[in-house]
Chains A and B, each alone.
Chain A
Amino acid sequence: MQADFQHKQAAHCENGAIVNLLGDKGFKISEPMAFGLGSGLFFVYLPFLKINHAPGISYRPMPGKIFNRMAKRLGIKVQRFKFSDPKKAQQKLDENLSKNIPTGLVVGVYNLPYFPDEYRFHFNAHNIVVFGKKNGNYLISDSVMDYTVSLNEDELEKVRYAKGALAPKGHLYYPVSVPDAMDLTNPIKKAIKQTCNDMLAPVPLVGVKAIRWVAKDILKWHKKLGVAKTNYNLANMIRMQEEIGTGGGGFRFIYAAFLQEAGEYLKNQELLNLSQEMALIGDKWRDFALEASRVVKKRSNTENVYQVLSNDLMKLADMEEAFFKKLKKAV
């Protein structure tokens, strides 16, 4: 009972699950293309929502959005189920596996035994693919890992029924039908436009405006909350930015790769140029992460370091605003 399944590693779990599930159906798509078509690049700041005792910052849209958007744009049919009863959730999964259907699951990270301790926190939107069952153990393709792993029934139930914010409730999904080779011109254009609109949205909570808000709040944290708390918030922000499953700087590179692929597909030189520009912005995000990690480590006490970080972030927001305005015109 083991599907002829190919595990491909990815930079982000949701993209990876998409690529692996579709690949199994005979629909070949690259990770950057899946990410781009799902309009995966995003930024949202939720200062009133505390996650791990720090304000909520996310560099991606709500879990499941990337796959749903992309599936809609390509005409892929996806079935999704949630179960209030864990027994039924397992039944459905076993049924799928006996039919050789690799199945995507949304799980909590905290109880995944194969993750290093540093990665274990209560984050409930990780994606894995189960592609078989052997001697009571589920064979798992976790696309952020370079090798496949396995979980026993209890372990899998525990992560499928992780509780708290975004509890997955046994969430399970799989594509039921994929189109034959199709023209990507319109889906690419639509997806790019949506990302531009998201990042340029005229509301303070999302896109470049939200980046500016965080930049201002870094100074506020320092004044009101003190150095320790500010550093903790910064550390959390960088984790959200660079850790597996989330992505900030890393996401810019995936998006740049998507723009390159899209530019070649549409024979659009402007997209190819913008792809290189996006990579430079990605480098700046990495510089920001590096600088923030230095601040966190040294616990420097001068006001200046936070001012520098805040300025850097402002500059990033300016760069991205200019970038997405150009990108919008390019398609």
Chain B
Amino acid sequence: MKKNEVPQDDSPLKRKNINEMVYAVDDDGKFVSVQSTGWEAKTVVQHENLEVLDQRIQQALNDVKAGNVSPIVYFMELNRMDWQTLAAYVGKWTFFVKRHGKPNVFKNLNTKTLQKYADVFGISLNDLQNLKG
């Protein structure tokens, strides 16, 4: 990539006034660092990525409403977590956390456990228990 080929496209970084730095070749064949506002190819895959995550959140919400999963699954997706990450945050084994994703298990969880989940998700106990969507 030549210095004048460094992409200066619109990007999420640009909207935060961040430039990223890349290395490119100048006219004399020397490598120099150049600032870039972003690259369209990258922005495209980032948006694709977020779209898939949004679909997962929507799907989780539908599943909660249909009574297939507990609100924990919805908030897990909302926080872009997977089971392992969530388990690490609440300090429990993945096996148990997955069980808490079942509505009939969730229903019988004690306040202490629920509070843990609520803290991790940064919401109140009430928000966690009364997710109506």
Q: Which residues of A contact B (CB under 8 A)?
A: 9-11, 31-32, 50, 52-53, 110, 114-122, 144-146, 163-165, 167, 228, 231-232, 234-236, 238-239, 242-244, 250, 253-254, 256-257, 260, 275-276, 279, 282-283, 286, 289-290, 292-293, 296-297
Q: Is the CB of A118 within 8 A of B80?
A: no
Residues of B59-85 whose CB lies within 8 A of A: 80-82, 84-85
Contact of A53 among B1, B39, B82 (CB under 8 A): B82
User: Secondary structure at chain A's binding surface: helix, strand, loop or mixed?
Assistant: helix
Bin the interface of chain B by size.
Answer: 35 or more
Can you list 10 A-B pairs, Cβ within 8 angstroms, ordered by A?
A9-B35, A110-B80, A118-B50, A119-B46, A146-B18, A164-B88, A238-B41, A260-B31, A293-B41, A296-B48
**Given A119-B12, A144-B20, A282-B1: A52 touches B82 (CB 8 Å cut-off):** yes
Q: Is the CB of A163 within 8 A of B88?
A: yes
Q: Which residues of B contact A290 (CB under 8 A)?
A: 41
Contact of B15 among A116, A235, A293 (CB under 8 A): A116
Q: Which residues of B contact A120 (CB under 8 A)?
A: 80
Q: Is the CB of B23 within 8 A of A146?
A: no
Q: Is the CB of B85 within 8 A of A165?
A: yes
Q: Which residues of B contact A (CB under 8 A)?
A: 1, 12-13, 15-16, 18-25, 29-31, 33, 35, 39-50, 52, 80-82, 84-85, 88-89
Please measure, in the bound complex, the distance between the C-alpha atom of A131 and the C-alpha atom of B22, giving whole angstroms. 24
Please measure, in the bound complex, the distance between the C-alpha atom of A9 and the C-alpha atom of B80, giving whole angstroms. 29
Could you tell me the distance in whole angstroms from the C-beta of B45 to the nearest C-beta in chain A?
4
Please measure, in the bound complex, the distance between the C-alpha atom of A271 and the C-alpha atom of B117, giving whole angstroms. 55
Q: Is the CB of B41 within 8 A of A289?
A: yes
Could you tell me the distance in whole angstroms from the C-beta of A143 to the nearest C-beta in chain B?
9
